[in-house]
Amino acid sequence: MDQPRVAAVEALSDTLSVAVTWIDGTREVVDLSEPIRRFTMLRPLADPTLFAQVKVVAWGWAIGWGDAEDPDIDYPADRLWQRAQDQRRAAA
C-alpha cells in the first residue's frame, strides 16, 4: 500500500488490539499493547474504557481517542500499517 489510510477501526474487547479496515478493503488485527506500555503519551490507553473509544481521525491518516477533530491521543496510519506488517512477519 503506497499511502496507508484507515477506513474503519474498532477496539477488540479485553485486548489492546484494534481491528483495522484499510481503504483498499483489507482488514487486519493490530496489537498495540507494546507501544502502549513503552510510550508515556500512549499509557492512558491501557484503560479499557478509553481504549474502546478509538475512532478514525484526520480523514483516515490516523486513529485517535478523544475529540474526532482534535484527538487527545492519536496513532498515525503509516505506523499502524508498519506495525501490522511487522506482526504478520513475526507470526509467519
Mean pLDDT by 10-residue block, N- to C-terminus, for the chain (92 residues)? 93 94 97 97 96 96 88 95 96 88
pLDDT number for residue 68: 73
The confidence score (pLDDT) of residue 16 equals: 97
How far apart, in whole angstroms, are the C-alpha atoms of residue 46 and residue 32?
10
Q: Where are the beta strands (DSSP E) in 1-92?
A: 6-11, 17-22, 27-31, 55-57, 62-66, 71-76
- The per-residue pLDDT for 2 is 81
pLDDT attached to residue 36? 97
| Placement of cell 490507553 in the chain | 45
pLDDT (0 to 100) of residue 92: 86
Backbone angles phi, psi at 47, to 5 degrees: -75, 115
Q: What is the pLDDT of residue 31?
A: 98
- Could you tell me if 65 and 50 are in contact, meaning their C-beta atoms sit under 8 angstroms apart? yes
- Domains, the chain, in order of start with CATH, read 6-91 (3.30.2020.10)
pLDDT value at residue 4: 95
Report pLDDT digits (tens) over 32-51. Answer: 999 999 999 999 999 999 99
